Amino acid sequence: MTATAAAAEPVTISETPVAVFQLPAHSFVVSGLVVPGIHAAAVTVASPEPGRVTFAAPARPEVCATTFGGALVRIDYLNVTTGAAGSAMVRPCENFLEPTPTTATVNTGPGPVVFSVSLTGSAYSPTAGQPSLPGVGTFTAP
């Protein structure tokens, strides 16, 4: 009798979206046709488990084709109940060659969290996304 192993099913980690109230960071952008515009770098939050959240700040492909393409988004957060604080850096443009991840999972602890958002250039493109204005926001971590 031959023993066979059952095929392992892939583990799916589901994240629950979290409602975020924010004034996004804003960046002045210029396309290849020298058409100026404004991009609002909004932060999204999801929770894979209680006390942990995943930050992202995805940008549309047409925004990534502008001077914003090499920008990075820094998120500084503070849980006002537990005092847990820290910062995370994410890359808004998926196809941009930059080692910074597109999402960052952090331990905020449960409760109300306030955060600030700032835009910065990457090592490849130090002036990407500049000039810019910072943003702020809040959410309740599960």
Question: Is 121 inside a domain boundary?
Answer: yes
Instruction: Give the pLDDT confidence of 16-75 residue by residue, as tens digits.
Output: 999 999 999 999 999 888 889 999 999 999 999 999 999 999 999 999 999 999 999 999
Q: What angle do CA 70, 74, 80 make, to 5 degrees?
A: 165
Residues counted in the chain: 142
Please determine, for residue 81, whether its predicted confidence score (pLDDT) is greater than 80. Answer: yes
Range of the domain at 65: 16-141
Q: State how far the Cα of 121 lies from the Cα of 68, in Å rounded to an integer.
A: 9
Question: Is 4 inside a domain boundary?
Answer: no
Burial of 11 (0-12, 13-18, 19+ CB in 10 A): exposed
Question: Is 54 inside a domain boundary?
Answer: yes
Report the number of distinct structural domains present in the chain. Answer: 1
Question: Is 46 inside a domain boundary?
Answer: yes
pTM for this model (two decimals): 0.86
Q: How far is CA 75 from CA 2, 3, 32, in A?
A: 55, 51, 28
Question: Is 7 inside a domain boundary?
Answer: no
> Which residues, in sequence order, are bridge partners of residue 114?
78, 138
Question: Is 90 inside a domain boundary?
Answer: yes
Please determine, for residue 11, whether its predicted confidence score (pLDDT) is greater than 50. Answer: no
> What's the confidence (pLDDT) of residue 76?
98
Domain holding 57: CATH number? 2.60.40
Question: Is 128 inside a domain boundary?
Answer: yes
